Structure 1
């Protein structure tokens, strides 16, 4: 276990304890030596975490130092940092903004002494940022999925044919180069995937398919899973 992870675990252990916790007990739980525990506690105290006690007596966390209700381990925090970095590469502008807000909230929720153990600048997702599609607002699509609301699309397929579609959107797939809208197409009477960059225009209509979304997603997932060949998925629009 890395030092940063141990620091989190020691603070969590002391925060939840009803009586002093010995270094031996902490060492056994973390599978490290007592010497490592002594060094870690000294490091925490140097960061002004109010830990009191000593060898042979046990340690307590003085009242007044609290962690947020939801506290991530160092690995979980790194996963969040990377996921947010990846999200900023999508063509979904609203989600990009949300990713920045989440990152700020995670940083603000962490106790200042322990926040130094995490350096968000050390983890990056590299690659081109996908362009936002001109003909469809992905935020509108996500809301339509949640509300089970129909959308009307002007769509150009890979052969250049243009059609008007009314769809029942059930999912979005974010690929590095594009975003696909998974939907029941009323024109084709079948599940279809629509590439966002091929949508010429779109709008939400005053019609809903409430109660059908889960059933349609079950049908979609039953015929396609992320680890299966693309050919087994719904046909393109």
Structure 2
């Protein structure tokens, strides 16, 4: 096992533990010597891991610690890079810029040899539909409404070109290859509806929060799975 893989396993073991773990227990779990374990814990602390404890007292990791990018496996890094690049092609300008920023932050923290390997991985996200894609200026406001769990007054044009005004509770957005879809509870229909972002004419975020939590709405929608496009 490589050293980086061993350090990743140690982080996972500390993250999942519900109580402080003794050095011998961790060493046995990872199949390494106690001396190697103490050296690995020192290395992780140097890299920013907030690991509490000492030999004889046990070790635990304070909640909220994020894995540094260099601790990801090659497959995980490729998945992150590919996902960020895909999002850069599909999302609104603000989210695309955030994806590019996150991608560069991960990339800049990698060792030189791993950075070169990722840059030349050959995994590409071609922008084949750039010329055909319709600008969707409402993506940003809709994402913010989902995040804040606020009601939205939506002016929408359906597939028959008929416009309507809805008060909806937005709680999810799907990013498909050719279209972005808002998932919301529609007060007019008293049911879940799906609204294509390219058919939205106007968005007004209201000050009122919707009465259910986003998590609860997602659970209800997932159970119902009603794929009825807004109309």
Q: What is the RMSD of the two structures over their aligned residues, measured on CA atoms?
A: 3.0
C-alpha displacement at 1:67, in angstroms?
A: 5.3
Count of aligned residue pairs for this structure pair: 180
* Alpha-carbon distance between aligned partners in 1 of 2:118 and 2:43, rounded to the nearest angstrom: 23
1:25-174 matched pairs, under 5 angstroms: 69-70=67-68, 71-120=71-120, 122-126=122-126, 127-129=128-130, 130-134=133-137, 136=138, 138-174=139-175
Q: What does residue 10 of structure 1 align with? A: 3
Looking at structure 1, the residues matched to 171 and 106 of structure 2 have their Cα atoms a distance apart, in angstroms, of: 30
Q: Does the CA contact (< 8 Å) of 1:156 and 1:163 recur in 2? A: yes
Contact 1:90/1:131, CA 8 A, preserved across alignment: no
Q: Structure 1 residues 122 and 167, CA, compared in 2 at 3 Å: closer, same or farther?
A: same
Task: Normalising by structure 1, report the TM-score.
Answer: 0.66
Q: 1:212 deviation in Å?
A: 3.4
Cα distance change of structure 1 residues 111 and 189 upon mapping to structure 2, 3 Å threshold: same
Question: What residue in structure 2 maps to residue 187 of structure 1?
Answer: 188
* Contact kept in structure 1, 2:5 and 2:73, CA below 8 Å: no
- Runs of 5+ unmatched residues, structure 2: 11-22, 24-30, 33-38, 49-66
Change (3 A) 1:90 1:11: closer
- Match of 1:187, SS state, is coil
Q: Tell me if 1:222 matches 2:215.
A: no
Structure-1 separation of matches of 2:103 and 2:82: 10
Q: Is the 8 A contact 1:91 1:133 kept in 2?
A: no
The Cα of 1:148 is off from its aligned counterpart by: 1.0
TM-superposed deviation, 1:100: 0.5
Alignment CA distance shift 1:11-1:175 (3 Å): closer
**Counterparts of 2:100 and 2:195, CA distance in 1:** 28
Alpha-carbon distance between aligned partners in 2 of 1:107 and 1:204, rounded to the nearest angstrom:
36
Match of 1:47 in 2: none
- Matched-pair contact (CA < 8 Å) for 1:91–1:132: no
Task: Pick closer, same or farther for the CA change 1:209–1:105 going to 2, 3 Å.
Answer: same
Instruction: Note the residue ranges of structure 1 that are not aligned, 5 or more in a row.
Output: 1-5, 19-27, 30-59, 225-231
Distance across 1 between alignment mates of 2:134 and 2:180: 10
